[in-house]
Structure 1
Amino acid sequence: MSRFDFTHPPFDSLTSSERDTLEAAADIVFYGDEELIMEPGTPVDTLFVMIKGLVREMAGDEVIAVYRERDTFDARALVAGHTAHRFVVHEEALVYALPRTAVLALTELNARFGAFFYASISQKFGALAERGGNREWQTLLTARVRDVYAKKPLFLDSEDSVLDAARLMKQHKAKSILVRHGRRVGIFTASDFRDLIIDGTRSDTALGTLCRFDLICCDIDDYLFNALLTMTQKNIQRVVVTEGGSPVGILEQVDLLSYFSNHSHLIAQRLERAGSLDELADIAAQITRLVEILTGHGVKAVQLGRLVQTLNARLFERAWRLLAPPELIANSCLLVMGSEGRGEQVLKTDQDNALILRDGYTSLELDRACQAFSEALARFGYPPCPGRIMVNNPDWRLSEAAMRDRLYHWVYLPENDAQLNLAIFVDAEAVAGDAILLERCHDYLQQLLRDDDSFYHRFARAIEQFNTPLGLFSQLLTKEKDGQAMLDLKKGGIFPIVHGARALALQYGLQERNTFERLARLVEIGRLDRELANDTAEALSFLFQLRLSQGLTALAEGRPAGNLISPARLSTMERDLLKDALGVVKRFKGMLRHHFRLASF
């Protein structure tokens, strides 16, 4: 049995023979209390891995890091060959001592292992994401459509009859066929037969008059996750697989369900059939369980956010239909805002929703339905918003004209929470009713802001609300809470990126709501440096992932998930990447200060 623990980063990326090489070179060393391990001015020829005890890293008299069981120090010093800090034993320490020559030799052989020591920031984050995928390589992130689909499409011509389709589908035990009509291709499914029987359609009717030509497709080299998301969003049971733009297969819902152990499609189907709030409450709990399963399989927070956004939208829409009369639904737009609107919220958080009513429409059921909806969401696990940004608050259920008036005041007569309210509205997405009402309000906001540079200065200035918790010598700056040193991921890291991208997107009239899509689009139109955008996106992805993993741990321990984390509970690699991520936040904020000339205000 190996004496060395290879289950944690970066050692979990080594091959069997590489592990043997490293273990043969390792020594076990004991250090007593207050013993000096490394200091400035002396060569660094060893990488240390903690077995037990505590070691503190010192910059002068200041403690900038504490290392405990399974932590590694100091990778940066090992590469450089020297260190600027002192490493002193705080409590008797037993460590593995890995020779510099052996470690650096492995970095040349193993690129993933070497990324821990040499890679750029975005490469480091990417390597960490890949490592998670290796634990369960057949996941939604790594598997592609060509890995799963096996059904070659059956073709008929548009002149062939319904009876011809029935015979072909029976012969091949298929549930769908593709229909050629000139250069167009349509689809005819087993479900279509049901409607034909009900309508009394003759069996000799030509397929070209019955099939659907608006195919929903996915490329053969696309990720299965995207196919899953498409099926969930469209509430369909199959997609047409294309290669080079031509249909080459059919991917069925059952193929996905047999490939993965999760049941996101089943959740979506249950949402469609749910006839009571009791059923919806049970489904809401299933969504949280789905997050736990997929996280365990290596699916990352960014992708989970989009899937959860889709499922939550269906959940909210179904609840609204159970509670509001059809006339109210048809004459209003129910919308979610903030992180839910951006598709960046995985675990349940405070409600942020609103209702826009068609001008001139009134309903005696409005107050009752909105109150019942807010109560239902609280029952589903979405806590009431402390600022009462919910439909049961009359200030957040307005006619279209009143909403436009509100937008005008937020822009030109800002007071109290105007900037915050405007920010979350910018990210709004419709989940039920007439989405045109929201679209027109978004268009009106863009008209208000045309050629108003002073507004963007005021709006972007919110990034200065919170300091980035990264001090000199890349020290993580924490605040004590309940006897623990804690760091707020949202205030210190996530918010500046999200709001900065939002301000740029608003300035350039972008339609994207998701932060990652905004960053990509800004690069595409030449408004953001590609390298900075890539680093910023990777840093944000890491911060989301860290918040998710810490949140799931908190829920498992019976505590509410939140944005506060304890750096002491992170691994060495996680702490190093957190420092790198916050360094990127500082760079991004610096660019925003220059772009919006924040220093002059």
Structure 2
Amino acid sequence: MSIADIKLFLKTCYPFELLTDSQLNEIIDNTEIVYLKPNQTVLNLPDFYYIILKGSVVEKDLAGNELNYFGEKDSFDYLSIIGQNENQFITVEECILYRFPSTILLKLISENPDFARYFKKSTKEKLSSIASENPYLFSKVKDIKYQKPLIVESSSSIYEAVKKMTEEKALSIIVKYSDTYGIVTDSDLRKKVILSKKNVEDPIGDIANKNIISVNPDTFLFDAIITMIKHNIKRVVIKDENNQIIGVLNEVDILTQYSNQPQFLALQVERAKSVEELKVISDSMINTVKLLHKEGIRTRHIMKFVSEINEKIFKKLFSLLADESIRENTCLIVMGSEGRQEQILKTDQDNGLILSDNFEFDKEVLENFSKNFIEALKTLGYPECKGNVMLTNPQWRKTLKEFKESIFEYINNITPENMLNLAILIDLRPIEGKIELAEKLREYIFENISDNKTFLSWFALPTINFKTPLNFFGGFETEKGEHKGELDIKKGGIFPIIHGVRSLAVENRITQTNTFNRIKELVNLNVINKDFGRELIESLEFMLTLRLRERLKKIEMKKQPDDYINVNSLTNYEKDLLKESFKVVNKFKDFITNHYKLNYLR
């Protein structure tokens, strides 16, 4: 990456966005890139501060318990630098890290009060801040994922108990006595076993703390946090109405789940060993989306969150179901809204499989894999594509050469169906397998379309096919009949921006597939000016936010989510914003019409 790229990356990483340009430059001038393989220990922690560019890292205590997870754009570890943390940081997967000297970090902390506040907040302060600033914490304990209890008899040896703790990846041990329960945590093991040199064959009951603090499933998260702060503890036990222990809620569960970072769920996906385990994670996604939306997290960030989890799920399915020959000779791709990283709810599947031209495959094995993959996605809640854009369809499961032949046909035989298929392919995103197959196909698309002005005009034409739902007087034009009083926000506003931007992206050989990122690239290339680019981004995001809100409402009402918005449900302010957004859509349609001379095609 260039210095400019590193700077742009750091500006997207909190709290580095709080630094001035000169302070960022000081980091960049002293930054090194570190490559680590899976399961490698990150070295020299007190001397360097690390930022994750790619991959994920787990923090483990001296007993080997997993305490925290860090993903892309996360950084660590200030406490190690100031001598307050002896934990190890180990890579979960292949990682690319930036690192810079800890002396630079400490200097910037002394210079920038806002930057310093992030590092000097204790975990308690962070939890208190979350509790006071985030209304969704009035959700209840039962609404979030907590750990199942690991219960052992008090007579079990310390060695056997810790062995089970490691096998089940638990953060604590519940110890059962004849008349009560106790708890053993990682800190207990450090202090009472390791530092005290206690015999590991002694009973685990000898070191358990019988003063268990508990909550029930209906306890508000806010109250659970206050309980942790009050008792200076990192976890509470969850008991049901019969006073039976049913789980353990850890401080880290709350912090990771509600820091709006996808790596926690992503690591759960990584650990999954079956479709059934993936289903539990997949089913929780809708609640996560609801919480993020309720909290006011920007829709494009929710899209990124969902896309990253979906990608992990698709990769895991591919590794579970594909044999070695398929993994080494094919590339799994997603297209459509998932290819653009813009799918929030599970509306449908758009996927395919590119095969190496020299792949001598067993037809029956490949077909069985394809069927099993699609069935697994259906089990996880991803509906089949109504247009049959799935790898069970031979049209979307073929060799690189055959895909190229199809693209050649699309370009030289302009029909609505061919234009639709090409638009789907242009948004392809490789997920797993032989990634270079997808990149070669994308390059073939660019080579045959980017300089073909006549074809690009026909391809861009659907941008203006649907009327923007504004009348001559600036009011809304709503539907009649079944959707009386509603408007189709996809046809009226979302699709014209997405497809127009897609057309400009392929013309300018932009490899990004996300519409927001494509707009930013078009601004960088001076295809559209900065102010107009900002208008397009804000308008598109506002319309997507309205659609998401309406879809979530319909799901709550057990109705099928769609693209219709009830105008009467909008506030006056929202109506005004939607009208302004539609005006931006019209402005963009005019731009596309002039750019591609679409008036000559009608």
Fold match by TM threshold 0.5: yes
- Does residue 505 (structure 1) correspond to residue 372 (structure 2)? The answer is no
Equivalent residue number for residue 346 of structure 1: 344
Deviations 1:213-264 (A, max 9, x none): xx976689xxxxxxxxxx9x98689976769995669999997962763674
Equivalent residue number for residue 258 of structure 1: 255
> Which of the residues 171, 175, 178 maps onto 2:45?
178
Amino acid at match of 1:297: E
8 Å CA contact 2:58, 2:92 repeated in 1: no
- Does residue 581 (structure 1) correspond to residue 581 (structure 2)? The answer is yes
Aligned equivalents of 2:591, 2:263: Cα separation in 1: 42
Identity %: 30
User: CA 1:266–1:487 in 2, change beyond 3 Å: closer, same or farther?
Assistant: same
**SS of the residue aligned with 1:560?**
coil
Aligned equivalents of 1:243, 1:525: Cα separation in 2: 35
**SS of the residue aligned with 2:473?**
helix
Amino acid at match of 2:338: E
**SS of the residue aligned with 1:374?**
helix
**SS of the residue aligned with 1:401?**
helix
Task: State the 1:471 CA deviation.
Answer: 1.0
8 Å CA contact 1:272, 1:318 repeated in 2: yes
Deviations 1:415-453 (A, max 9, x none): 351111111111111111111000000111111125311
**SS of the residue aligned with 1:528?**
coil
Q: Supply the RMSD in Å over aligned alpha carbons.
A: 3.8
- Does residue 388 (structure 1) correspond to residue 388 (structure 2)? The answer is yes
Deviations 1:392-434 (A, max 9, x none): 1111101011011111111122335111111111111111111
Equivalent residue number for residue 369 of structure 1: 369
User: CA 1:514–1:146 in 2, change beyond 3 Å: closer, same or farther?
Assistant: closer
Q: Which of structures 1 and 2 has the larger relative contact order (alpha carbons within 8 angstroms, sep 6+)? A: 1
User: CA 1:254–1:471 in 2, change beyond 3 Å: closer, same or farther?
Assistant: same
Aligned equivalents of 1:217, 1:416: Cα separation in 2: 42
8 Å CA contact 1:460, 1:499 repeated in 2: yes
Amino acid at match of 2:511: Q
Deviations 1:1-30 (A, max 9, x none): xxxxxxxxxxxxxxxxxxxxxxxxxxxxxx
Amino acid at match of 1:371: K
8 Å CA contact 1:466, 1:492 repeated in 2: yes
Aligned equivalents of 2:103, 2:365: Cα separation in 1: 49
User: CA 1:188–1:413 in 2, change beyond 3 Å: closer, same or farther?
Assistant: closer
8 Å CA contact 1:463, 1:589 repeated in 2: yes
Deviations 1:316-341 (A, max 9, x none): 11112222212212210001001111
- Does residue 414 (structure 1) correspond to residue 281 (structure 2)? The answer is no
Equivalent residue number for residue 273 of structure 2: 275
Aligned residues: 403
Deviations 1:164-220 (A, max 9, x none): xxxxx9xxxxx8643879xxx99999779999xxxxxxxxxxxxxxxxxxx976689
Equivalent residue number for residue 165 of structure 2: none
**SS of the residue aligned with 1:473?**
coil
Equivalent residue number for residue 293 of structure 1: 291
Equivalent residue number for residue 73 of structure 1: none
Aligned equivalents of 1:189, 1:376: Cα separation in 2: 29
Task: State the 1:314 CA deviation.
Answer: 0.7
Deviations 1:331-384 (A, max 9, x none): 100010011111111111111111001112113311011111112212222211
Amino acid at match of 2:577: L
Task: State the 1:266 CA deviation.
Answer: 3.0
**SS of the residue aligned with 1:472?**
coil
Task: State the 1:511 CA deviation.
Answer: 1.4
Amino acid at match of 1:258: L
**SS of the residue aligned with 2:388?**
coil
Aligned equivalents of 1:257, 1:236: Cα separation in 2: 27
Task: State the 1:142 CA deviation.
Answer: 11
Deviations 1:112-132 (A, max 9, x none): xxxxxxxxxxxxxxxxxxxxx
Amino acid at match of 1:418: N
8 Å CA contact 2:330, 2:353 repeated in 1: yes
User: CA 1:469–1:276 in 2, change beyond 3 Å: closer, same or farther?
Assistant: same
8 Å CA contact 1:218, 1:242 repeated in 2: no
Aligned equivalents of 1:323, 1:590: Cα separation in 2: 48
Task: State the 1:308 CA deviation.
Answer: 0.8
Deviations 1:108-166 (A, max 9, x none): xxxxxxxxxxxxxxxxxxxxxxxxxxxxxxxxx9974689xxxxxxxxxxxxxxxxxxx
- Does residue 430 (structure 1) correspond to residue 427 (structure 2)? The answer is no
User: CA 1:178–1:388 in 2, change beyond 3 Å: closer, same or farther?
Assistant: same
**SS of the residue aligned with 2:538?**
helix
Aligned equivalents of 1:268, 1:217: Cα separation in 2: 14
**SS of the residue aligned with 1:417?**
helix
Amino acid at match of 1:443: E
Deviations 1:439-472 (A, max 9, x none): 0001111111253110110000011221111111
Amino acid at match of 1:345: Q
- Does residue 334 (structure 1) correspond to residue 332 (structure 2)? The answer is yes
Aligned equivalents of 2:317, 2:44: Cα separation in 1: 36
Equivalent residue number for residue 317 of structure 1: 315
8 Å CA contact 1:267, 1:286 repeated in 2: no
User: CA 1:309–1:242 in 2, change beyond 3 Å: closer, same or farther?
Assistant: farther
User: CA 1:244–1:583 in 2, change beyond 3 Å: closer, same or farther?
Assistant: farther
User: CA 1:349–1:411 in 2, change beyond 3 Å: closer, same or farther?
Assistant: same
8 Å CA contact 1:485, 1:567 repeated in 2: yes
Equivalent residue number for residue 463 of structure 1: 463
Aligned equivalents of 2:256, 2:416: Cα separation in 1: 52
Amino acid at match of 1:336: V
Unaligned runs of 5+ in 2: 1-11, 19-40, 65-70, 77-88, 110-117, 124-249
User: CA 1:418–1:542 in 2, change beyond 3 Å: closer, same or farther?
Assistant: same
Aligned equivalents of 1:241, 1:557: Cα separation in 2: 49
Amino acid at match of 1:338: G
Aligned equivalents of 1:192, 1:565: Cα separation in 2: 51
8 Å CA contact 2:550, 2:565 repeated in 1: yes
**SS of the residue aligned with 1:371?**
helix
Equivalent residue number for residue 443 of structure 2: 443
Unaligned runs of 5+ in 1: 1-140, 148-168, 170-174, 196-214, 221-230
**SS of the residue aligned with 2:480?**
strand
**SS of the residue aligned with 1:431?**
strand
1:127-146 mapped onto 2 (5 Å cutoff): 144=15
8 Å CA contact 2:266, 2:308 repeated in 1: no
Equivalent residue number for residue 402 of structure 1: 402
1:30-45 mapped onto 2 (5 Å cutoff): none
Amino acid at match of 1:380: L
* TM-score normalised by length of structure 2: 0.61
8 Å CA contact 2:407, 2:422 repeated in 1: yes
8 Å CA contact 1:463, 1:495 repeated in 2: yes
**SS of the residue aligned with 1:477?**
coil
